[in-house]
Amino acid sequence: MWYDKRVMVDTLLISLILVMMFILGAVFGSFACCQAWRWRYHVLHKKELGQWSVCLHCKKRIKWYDNIPIVSWLVLRGKCRYCHKKIGLADFLSEISLAIAFFMLSWAYLVPILENWNILALKPELLALQLGVFIVTLMLLVVLMVLAVYDAKWGELPTVLLILAIVIGAIVWVLKMYELSLTDDGDVIGGLWNSFGAVMILAGTCFVIYKASKEKLMGSGDWLLALALALPLASWWLALWTIFLANLLGDVIVLPTALKSGNKKVHFGPFLVAAFVIVLVLGNCLPLLLKAL
Using CB under 5 A as the criterion, which residues of the chain lie in contact with Zn ion when the complex forms?
55, 57-58, 80, 82-83
Q: How far is the CB of 67 from Zn ion (least distance, A)?
A: 13
CA distances from 4 to 9, 10, 114 (A): 9, 10, 18
Q: Report the candidate in 242, 218, 244, 210 with the shortest Cα–Cα distance to residue 229.
A: 242
Q: How far is the CB of 71 from Zn ion (least distance, A)?
A: 18
**With respect to Zn ion, which residue has the nearer C-beta, 58 or 259?**
58
Cα–Cα distance between 55 and 52 in angstroms, integer? 10
Q: Report the candidate in 204, 161, 195 with the shortest Cα–Cα distance to residue 175.
A: 195
Q: How far is the CB of 41 from Zn ion (least distance, A)?
A: 17
**With respect to Zn ion, which residue has the nearer C-beta, 82 or 178?**
82
CA distances from 99 to 112, 217, 283 (A): 19, 31, 17
Q: Report the candidate in 139, 148, 202 with the shortest Cα–Cα distance to residue 172.
A: 139
The half-sphere exposure of 156 on its side-chain side, counting CA atoms within 13 A, is 11
**With respect to Zn ion, which residue has the nearer C-beta, 57 or 61?**
57
Q: How far is the CB of 2 from Zn ion (least distance, A)?
A: 57
**With respect to Zn ion, which residue has the nearer C-beta, 81 or 153?**
81
**With respect to Zn ion, which residue has the nearer C-beta, 80 or 202?**
80
- DSSP label at residue 204: I
Q: How far is the CB of 57 from Zn ion (least distance, A)?
A: 4
